[in-house]
Each structure stands twice: as structure tokens, then as C-alpha cells.
Amino acid sequence: MSRFKKFTALLFTAIIVISAFAGATSTVKADDEVNTITIGAVKGTSAVPLLVAKQYNLDKNNNASIDVKTYNSTKELNDALKAGEITGAFTDLVNYAAITKSTSSYKIVGQSSGYLGLVANKKYKKVDSLKGKTIAVEKNDASKYYLKTVLEDNNLKLSDVKIKEIADPSDRVSQLKSKKVDAIVVGDPFITNAEKNGAKVLKKQNINKSNDNVIIMSKDSLSTDISNVNMFINVYNDGIKAFNKGGFTTADQVLVEQGATREAAVKMNDLDIDLSKAKKVKKSDYDRVMKYAKSAKVNTKPAEFKKEFAKLANITK
């Protein structure tokens, strides 16, 4: 990241903090007037823009009450969703298919940020060198799907490698470091954690794209509290704007809380980030992922797109 952008990030941070304190007393509703939206996410970068928004009190400035809970694995997140412990979640379309296999309580409200990478022990220089090797993923989220696409781009199939399921991405990094597996698919900050351990990134999704990541909300909140859900999207979009001013420099401590080592957080500060605000999910993207979910038996009867997408006033085209 350039010195100018870092300076801009620090200046923006100061302005936001001052504005937040200046406006807090006049804009925040009483606690009993605002329903709290509790959003869940697996530790990583998907919730970072929202955490940045909360860091700068942008939720209070939008008259919103938002709580963020992070989990160590997709399974833990899904258990919280099934139990109704959280209002919604940052997740991906593959995992959404897994969720809707056992519950119909949630709908997609829009795209969100997030990216995955294929990281290998340093002796593997190319993707095709992983033929016959052991690669760790989570089978019910986008990590296995992403591995499938990367392998196919290199004339390989999933059957050409040994798949090991490891739910916690931090455990995947540990097993890669100890050479119990040859490669892993993870998102950041775990990509960068592995890099700092000496591993090599063989492939990584465009960090500025949504990459089939989505925001989902409970049908109950969409039917009884739609204005508050729209306000949540406002806060998320404001967090994106704040985050884009300085990238991960804006969220240095947040990264550590989301699983980054101190060394990885410093390295991530130099990533060039320009995330988009929440958008509508494209039907073509939904159908493509559901086709995979059906073939992989994540969900053999995924719902049609029109039944799963909730229209919100604050989701842009």
C-alpha cells in the first residue's frame, strides 16, 4: 500500500471517529427501540467491513443495533443458524445449499466480500504437481468447490487428489505447516498465515470480487423487521466505504481478532483492496453453484433462485 493511501486511511479514521462521537447523542435511538441484528461469520475477512463499521460507530450513526459473532468453522456457524441463535450470516452459496438442506428459515439478501486460495508446501511449484497429494478442505462450503475449479483449469479432477476434511481453517494451516497435508484451501487471513509459515500460494481468487459469497437473513427478520435489515445493509455498505479508504490498515486489530498472526496482519496491510457494496446475487451464479451442490450431494434438491432471494431496498444492482 502506498504512503499516500496509508496517510489517507489514518486521516479518514480520525474524521470518522470524531464524527461518530459528535453525532452519537443525537442519532442513536434508545436501546428498547432498536432490535438487535446478530450476524454470524466464520473467522476470516467476510465480516471485516462490518466490524470496521462497528469500530467507527457507523452502526449507531445509522440507528442500528448490530452484534457480530464469529465461529471457528462452517459447522459451528451452521449449528448456530439451525438453533436460531443468530439473525443471519456471511457465508457462501455452497454452504447456503448445505444450510437449506435441513432448514428453510433463511433467505439470501445479497452478495458479500470474501476470497479463497490454494496454498501448498513450498516444494510444490504448480497446481499439477499436486496430483496424488493430500489437500485439506471443508466439504460443505466453497473450499471444495473452489479446489474443483482450480484442478479442472489444470487438467485435473478431484479424483486425482486425496481430499481430507478439516473444518477449522486454522487447523488446516497447522497441518500444512507440520506436513500432515500437502496443500489446503482457505481464505484470508489463513492464506497469509500459511505464507508466513513458508508455504506457497498456487492460486488465489480476485480479492475484490464477491466469489459467490453471500449475506443471508432469517425469514422471520425479513417479514417482521425489514426496515432494520435494510439498515443493516446501510451499515455494511458504510463499512465497505470506510474499509476501502485504507484497506486492511483500517482493520489491523480486527484481523488479529479474526485469526491473523501479527506478522500476517502486517503483510495484509499492503494488499490492494477495493470492495464493492452489497449487490443482488445473479441468477446465473446461483444456478451454477446449485448445480455443483446437487452433483456433490451437498443438497440434492436445492431451491429455485426466485424462492431464495429476498428483495431489499438498499441492495444495489
What was the pLDDT predicted at 235? 93
Both 106 and 10 in one domain: the answer is yes
Q: Please say which residue of 204, 226, 248 terminates a domain.
A: 204
Both 235 and 295 in one domain: the answer is yes
Category of 259 on φ-ψ map: left (φ > 0), alpha (ψ -120 to 50) or beta: left
**Domain extent for 26:** 3-114+210-308
Both 175 and 193 in one domain: the answer is yes
Give residue-wise pLDDT tens across range 248-292: 988 888 999 999 999 999 999 999 889 999 999 999 999 999 999
Host H or E run for residue 150: helix 142-153
Identity of the residue numbered 83: A
In a domain, 36, yes or no: yes
Q: Please say which residue of 156, 184, 204 terminates a domain.
A: 204
Both 27 and 146 in one domain: the answer is no
Both 185 and 216 in one domain: the answer is no
Query: Would you place residue 311 in the very low, low, confident or very high pLDDT band (cuts 50, 70, 90)?
Result: confident
Closest Cα to residue 178, out of 125, 123, 262, 121? 121
- Please list the residues that pair with 40 across neighbouring strands: 69, 89
In a domain, 126, yes or no: yes
In a domain, 7, yes or no: yes
Average pLDDT over residues 205-221: 95
In a domain, 314, yes or no: no
Q: Is the pLDDT of residue 183 over 80?
A: yes
The number of folded domains in the chain is: 2
Cell numbers at 309, concatenated: 432471494
Both 16 and 156 in one domain: the answer is no
In a domain, 172, yes or no: yes
- 70 CB neighbour count, 10 Å cutoff: 19
* Dihedrals phi, psi of 160, to nearest 5 degrees: -85, -5
Separation between Cα atoms, residue 123 and residue 121, nearest integer Å = 6
pTM, entire model = 0.87
Give residue-wise pLDDT tens across range 19-63: 443 443 333 334 445 689 999 999 999 999 999 999 888 888 888
Q: Kindly report the CATH number assigned to the domain that includes residue 29.
A: 3.40.190.10
Q: Is the pLDDT of residue 317 over 80?
A: no
Q: Please say which residue of 153, 180, 204 terminates a domain.
A: 204
Instruction: Choose between 4 and 200: higher pLDDT.
Output: 200
Both 104 and 12 in one domain: the answer is yes
Alpha-carbon 238 to chain mean position = 17
Both 186 and 221 in one domain: the answer is no
In a domain, 313, yes or no: no
| Long-range own/partner contacts, residues 13-22 (CB < 8 A, 24 or more apart) | 13/56, 13/246, 13/250, 16/56, 16/58, 16/242, 17/56, 17/57, 19/61, 20/56, 20/57, 20/58, 20/60, 20/61, 21/57
What was the pLDDT predicted at 269? 92
Query: Would you place residue 87 in the very low, low, confident or very high pLDDT band (cuts 50, 70, 90)?
Result: very high
Both 195 and 218 in one domain: the answer is no
Both 16 and 159 in one domain: the answer is no
CB distance 191 to 119 below 8 Å: yes
Give residue-wise pLDDT tens across range 114-148: 999 999 999 999 999 999 999 999 988 999 999 99
